[in-house]
Homo-oligomer: A and B are copies of this chain.
């Protein structure tokens, strides 16, 4: 049980929590139907550095679009995609945080139209094709092996104790779904994420270029309720976008555990707190469990 976790405060907190909520007749017992656990994906279940895995999927698609229509070559973000200019994509986000939204707007429009006007089946085929070939740029392993073994073990530990686990990510719902089964044992109906709007046409669902959900920050609790009709009692995240989800879990009437994964292992994975500053502050203040990759995980990946 939790063999990939070192003995320490994070493992103890999980073991103790699970024992309390499953102890029939105990003061913290929770009915199995209410044992809902939610997990962020990027940086919580798989790597998000040096860039979101979905950004690689996007850039390949932008390059494909440019190959089919050379006139796109002169415009961003297509030029950056073809040139492999990852810095342009990173700068667009940095500029946004500095108050200049111009590049982010250009990027957003391209994101929304990258996979427009195809059926959900065609979209799944594009995603599957990507995952067959694509590898992590610095770790060298297929993206499908970039899941964190201790977190997958945690999913199984919770399920073995009658929890139902959901993924709740800012990443694309239909980008994640084809791989969450093989990677994490989480079926499509338990994947919550961002999405463009879909329209029904002649027996098929077709993608539009309109955003429907941006599943981040305060939207995460809304989408968790929309999907489950329940308040989770366990939540794991790693960034500022997870604070509301962790808080929603933490402020429920009964026992709960909110966990933050801390990326502090440059040797085996990555070492960064950018984008997680507020979450870490809040974790310290509210007594949330911090899982240090360096100290708490015996292994990072499965193979």
Interface residues of A (CB under 8 A from B): 33, 120, 164, 173-174, 177, 187-189, 191, 195, 197-200, 202-205, 218-219, 221-222, 225-230, 244, 247-248, 250-251
Residue of B nearest to A166 (CB): B189
A199 x B218 contact (CB < 8 A)? yes
In-complex Cβ contact of A200 among B197, B202, B228, B244 (8 A)? B244
The smallest C-beta distance from A266 to any residue of chain B, in angstroms, reads 34
Residue of B nearest to A251 (CB): B203
**What residues of B have a CB within 8 angstroms of the CB of A218 in the complex?**
199-200
State A24–B202 Cα separation when bound (angstroms): 31
In-complex Cβ contact of A230 among B173, B189, B219 (8 A)? B189
**What residues of B have a CB within 8 angstroms of the CB of A230 in the complex?**
188-189
**What residues of B have a CB within 8 angstroms of the CB of A221 in the complex?**
200, 205
The smallest C-beta distance from A191 to any residue of chain B, in angstroms, reads 7
The smallest C-beta distance from A42 to any residue of chain B, in angstroms, reads 19
B225 x A120 contact (CB < 8 A)? yes
**What residues of B have a CB within 8 angstroms of the CB of A198 in the complex?**
222, 225-226
Residue of B nearest to A250 (CB): B203
- With A198-B225, A225-B120 known as contacts, the answer to whether A203 contacts B247 (CB < 8 A) is yes
The smallest C-beta distance from A177 to any residue of chain B, in angstroms, reads 5
In order of increasing CB-CB distance, the 4 nearest A-B pairs are: A188-B229, A203-B251, A200-B218, A189-B228
In-complex Cβ contact of A177 among B189, B195, B205, B229 (8 A)? B229
State A198–B213 Cα separation when bound (angstroms): 13
State A188–B226 Cα separation when bound (angstroms): 9
State A270–B202 Cα separation when bound (angstroms): 33
A229 x B174 contact (CB < 8 A)? yes
The smallest C-beta distance from A196 to any residue of chain B, in angstroms, reads 11
**What residues of B have a CB within 8 angstroms of the CB of A197 in the complex?**
222
The smallest C-beta distance from A226 to any residue of chain B, in angstroms, reads 7
State A189–B177 Cα separation when bound (angstroms): 18
State A37–B248 Cα separation when bound (angstroms): 31
B229 x A191 contact (CB < 8 A)? yes
B189 x A227 contact (CB < 8 A)? yes
B251 x A189 contact (CB < 8 A)? no
The smallest C-beta distance from A221 to any residue of chain B, in angstroms, reads 5
State A230–B187 Cα separation when bound (angstroms): 10
